[in-house]
Structure 1
């Protein structure tokens, strides 16, 4: 009996990925050992990763890198989808006033 691999290649190392070492995220195939944060090289799991334009990040580095540059959206929505929403009223309470204003 011979063991044949899949024809799928890992996105990171571009080598054949055998079923026993295969991990699939966002429709892309990786070796389990290649599924790492591109910033810190820490091992990732399906439950703790984020990606931007196909680049993998651990959640802390994703937030750190993209929050600082202003291109981070906690809801992961595109700017077009976000602008289509109605603005949420903001509740402002002035501690010295007896009135509550809704802006």
Structure 2
């Protein structure tokens, strides 16, 4: 199993799809209450085994933000198309609708 050296305060994963150079699509974050850091590690490792993680920003179609309990990004991992689909399915993610007046 790949070790992502996640910070101790990692509690959730949030996939993000690159739509264009200046547009992102955010998906719901998933927390792991029983073992937050361990849950993040397990799902990122499974995603890597499925061929869903890349080191290359050019190959990435998205990113997985690793969040702390204040919803701050403490780490991130580049995702391939397979990786984004894997996390979407396995974590039961949903698109977060854009809020009116939201520039993101």
Higher relative contact order (CA 8 A, sep 6+): 2
> Which protein has the bigger strand share?
2
The structure number with the bigger radius of gyration is: 1
